[in-house]
């Protein structure tokens, strides 16, 4: 059946790994819907975890600087993530990469870090939340990290999250229903969850 006559296909979600080909969609999403209900974070362009915060004062970073870094890191392969689109419009993002690329985590050494992937960000356009987009992104991120040789994937959700912004690391319930297990609790009331790939 044609797309027009099939409601499921008409609203199908496609997931792409970030590369220079889909970078314009990534920028469109971050320039627009990504932080439409949380504008104070709109300057990030998912760069926070790529920086060593012992070297970079994150609060001094501008949106223009982070946008330019997102472009250059995408081109060099030093930034990774998965973008969700619906009818060719970007509607969601999952920032996930091998841990070795995420220098904000350098102060938290972990055994076998070279084979550990980390999920550090989820964003879904406010009008598209609750539609399964985050789950599709999580599945794609786990598959993509496994294809890169990662044997474990971890994330750091907030169990007491009350707002979409609180859940920007991904909802704990999403992880637990996708085969993740609590690995350890942190002293900031967050937990680390892990899944073997």
Beta-strand relationship, 191-196 and 181-185: antiparallel
Instruction: Give the pLDDT score at 92.
Output: 97
What are 76-102's pLDDT values in tens digits?
A: 999 999 999 999 999 999 999 999 999
pLDDT above 60: residue 45: yes
Positive or negative, the CA dihedral 105, 109, 111, 115 is: positive
State the pTM of this model: 0.91
Which residues pair with residue 153 across a beta bridge? 117, 195
**Assign residue 35 a region: left if phi > 0, alpha if psi is -120 to 50, beta otherwise?**
alpha
Q: How confident is the model at residue 144 (pLDDT cuts 50, 70, 90)?
A: very high
Alpha-carbon distance 31 to 138, whole Å?
22
**In angstroms, what CA-CA distances link 52 with 85, 99, 116, 137, 169?**
31, 13, 18, 26, 19
């Amino acid at each position: 059946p044609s797309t027009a006559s099939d409601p499921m296909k008409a609203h199908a979600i496609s997931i792409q790994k970030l590369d220079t080909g889909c970078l314009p969609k990534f920028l469109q999403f971050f320039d627009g819907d990504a932080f439409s209900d949380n504008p104070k974070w709109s300057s990030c362009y998912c760069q926070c975890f790529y920086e060593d915060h012992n070297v970079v004062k994150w609060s001094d970073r501008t949106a223009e600087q982070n946008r330019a870094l997102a472009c250059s890191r995408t081109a060099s392969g030093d930034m990774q993530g998965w973008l969700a689109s619906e009818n060719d419009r970007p509607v969601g993002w999952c920032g996930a990469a091998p841990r070795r690329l995420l220098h904000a985590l350098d102060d938290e050494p972990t055994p076998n870090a070279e084979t550990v992937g980390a999920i550090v960000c989820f964003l879904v356009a406010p009008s598209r939340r609750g539609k399964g987009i985050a789950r599709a992104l999580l599945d794609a991120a786990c598959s993509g990290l496994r294809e890169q040789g990662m044997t474990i994937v971890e994330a750091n959700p907030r169990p007491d999250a009350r707002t979409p912004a609180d859940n920007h690391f991904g909802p704990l319930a999403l992880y637990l229903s996708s085969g993740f297990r609590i690995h350890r609790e942190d002293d900031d009331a967050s937990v680390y969850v892990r899944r073997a790939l």
